[in-house]
Chains A and B, each alone.
Chain A
């Protein structure tokens, strides 16, 4: 099976304190660690596992600047055979819809059986690129996938619903699946693997290479344009307990005692 995995290079923000930048439309990126989007990490692992089981190739593709190379290298080190970076100054300001268009134009002439993406990205959280790409390619899709099996040229997938419930779907191939976290356990990469990946080629393509016009990408080609970012207003704020760890623990114990919890 030939598999294409769409990945995104994003800042890790789960435990970081964020600041809005001077433009008011982005966050300050200095000091943040960038890595493969968490959901894409699971998608890549799933692709490599399918390849290991059925043979074929894995191609990692991204839309981003040169900085994204570290994410692509990680994909190569983990078992991707090829890496493609779609880079052009005109891509700046592209939303998820424009990004799906860019990916479509790069992918439409490639051979594939499955396309995997993350269910969403940790930065914008849109969950849009995968299904829109599937619409452009006119192939079936399933989102938030937690299990993939194959039978008779079809995929049987489990999709995550709410409250722990899942649904099983049968999907004809070729198809696109967006992968939910927890579907597998992404492997660690050895130093050797990373060294080897450094020698592999990353193919770079721009606007003209994929045959798109300026107005089809960037803000002009997008559905959504950010006007401003702001820190969410706090409706209720916790009462902060301060002091040394010992003092804080004592305060917590007092609270629990007063509520009859201990």
Chain B
């Protein structure tokens, strides 16, 4: 029977959300194509994680080795090359995460298995294996086909699929495979995790966030939006480019590489809405977005949208709020 591999992703003793998202999609494909679903778990002292995975996957291949204690793409590549060559899965699914990006392209090239990265959908269509992925920062979707092969590989975008428990309980079988790693990996070594420096402002605790993006254009415009945030009793947050430019500290960044926030109001100014940002703020109670581009993806995640230059809206809005507050207090 054909077999589908899902690579379990975990860090510091925790299985990561992407693992369950991948398993949900993999179960669907396995059912449709009558294939077996196998989760591959690499690590050290991770048998408890294997037991959890066995509730989601009929088979769990477990490889334990001290050299797999922390993620190392070279160690992972050796073990996965061994498993894929031996068992010839029709499809290997890996997260499009920091780990997956480090591992999958090189693994695929070494095995000459066609790979599509950052997929938001994928599956077998007749003889072909097709994927959907986004281009141009999420403004365009591409339907693409992988070169015909006996084995395919994809990396999956975070939160592209909603994790679900199997409808029928699975009591999967855990199969322990002896580690094929014979020697230490010396070309690349994990040293340590580095925690972000503690910041002055906790944006996750704010009720009102004014989020700014590229549309803010220049650092000199930041005081203007900061004043608006103050008028609203909130604080400034931002998308990645603002931190990259050094205009705001990294503790203000919302998104996959920053914080996840859920304020009562998220006012998005000049943010296009790349999925990395959206994942960090889409569960806010009320989202109002201002952007010049009517097709900006942010409008698909907002309750209210304004297609206008933010520099025309912000000063007027700030005045109106201040007037209202002055009326109330008088």
The residue that A224 contacts in the complex, of B146, B195, B265, with Cβ under 8 A, is: B146
The residue that A165 contacts in the complex, of B135, B194, B272, with Cβ under 8 A, is: B194
Establish whether residues B136 and A181, one from each chain, have CB atoms under 8 Å apart when the complex forms.
no
Q: Which residues of B contact A246 (CB under 8 A)?
A: 316
Establish whether residues B292 and A18, one from each chain, have CB atoms under 8 Å apart when the complex forms.
no
Secondary structure at the A interface, as helix, strand, loop or mixed, is mixed
Which of B49-57, B84-92, B171-179, B236-244 faces chain A?
A: B236-244
Tell me if A226 is interfacial: C-beta within 8 Å of chain B. yes
Tell me if A92 is interfacial: C-beta within 8 Å of chain B. no
Q: Which residues of A contact B110 (CB under 8 A)?
A: 135
Establish whether residues A241 and B295, one from each chain, have CB atoms under 8 Å apart when the complex forms.
no
Establish whether residues A228 and B232, one from each chain, have CB atoms under 8 Å apart when the complex forms.
no
Q: Which residues of B contact A250 (CB under 8 A)?
A: 320
Tell me if B144 is interfacial: C-beta within 8 Å of chain A. yes
Which of A49-57, A78-86, A106-114, A126-134 faces chain B?
A: A126-134
Secondary structure at the B interface, as helix, strand, loop or mixed, is mixed
Establish whether residues A248 and B308, one from each chain, have CB atoms under 8 Å apart when the complex forms.
yes
Establish whether residues B300 and A236, one from each chain, have CB atoms under 8 Å apart when the complex forms.
yes
Tell me if B259 is interfacial: C-beta within 8 Å of chain A. yes
Min CB gap A150→B, angstroms: 14
Establish whether residues A13 and B191, one from each chain, have CB atoms under 8 Å apart when the complex forms.
no
A 210-254 binary contact with B (CB < 8 Å = 1; else 0): 000000000000111111111110111111111001101110110
Q: Which residues of A contact B98 (CB under 8 A)?
A: 143-144, 159-162
Q: Which residues of B contact A226 (CB under 8 A)?
A: 142-144
The residue that A240 contacts in the complex, of B134, B250, B306, with Cβ under 8 A, is: B306
Cα A211 to Cα B307 in complex, Å, equals 52
Tell me if B313 is interfacial: C-beta within 8 Å of chain A. yes
Which of B38-46, B114-122, B160-168 faces chain A?
A: B114-122
Cα A161 to Cα B196 in complex, Å, equals 11
We find that the number of chain A residues with CB closer than 8 angstroms to chain B is 83
Cα A235 to Cα B189 in complex, Å, equals 44
The residue that A225 contacts in the complex, of B147, B299, B302, with Cβ under 8 A, is: B147
Establish whether residues A237 and B101, one from each chain, have CB atoms under 8 Å apart when the complex forms.
no
Establish whether residues A162 and B215, one from each chain, have CB atoms under 8 Å apart when the complex forms.
no
We find that the number of chain B residues with CB closer than 8 angstroms to chain A is 100
Tell me if A256 is interfacial: C-beta within 8 Å of chain B. yes
Cα A157 to Cα B240 in complex, Å, equals 21
Min CB gap A182→B, angstroms: 4
Establish whether residues A185 and B300, one from each chain, have CB atoms under 8 Å apart when the complex forms.
no
Q: Which residues of B contact A135 (CB under 8 A)?
A: 105-106, 109-110
> B258: nearest residue on chain A (CB-CB)?
A164
* Residue among A100, A134, A166, A232 with the highest chain B CB neighbour number at 10 A: A232
Establish whether residues B265 and A256, one from each chain, have CB atoms under 8 Å apart when the complex forms.
yes
A 138-161 binary contact with B (CB < 8 Å = 1; else 0): 001111100000000000101111
Min CB gap A105→B, angstroms: 14
The residue that A237 contacts in the complex, of B208, B258, B300, with Cβ under 8 A, is: B300
Q: Which residues of A contact B118 (CB under 8 A)?
A: 125-127
**Given contacts A18-B139, A126-B118, A241-B306, is CB(A164)–CB(B109) below 8 Å?**
no
Q: Which residues of B contact A239 (CB under 8 A)?
A: 303-305
- 8 chain-A/chain-B pairs, Cβ below 8 angstroms: A127-B101, A162-B97, A167-B191, A230-B143, A237-B300, A238-B287, A240-B305, A262-B233
Q: Given A169-B189, A261-B265, 16 more contacts at CB 8 Å?
A: A27-B140, A127-B96, A135-B105, A169-B191, A170-B191, A171-B189, A223-B146, A225-B144, A232-B140, A232-B300, A236-B301, A240-B307, A246-B316, A255-B286, A255-B304, A262-B232
CB within 8 Å of A: which residues of B? 11, 70-71, 73-74, 96-99, 101-102, 105-106, 108-110, 114-118, 130-131, 133-147, 186-196, 208, 214-215, 232-233, 240-241, 243-246, 250-251, 253, 256-260, 264-265, 272, 285-289, 292-295, 297, 299-308, 312-313, 316-317, 319-321, 324-325
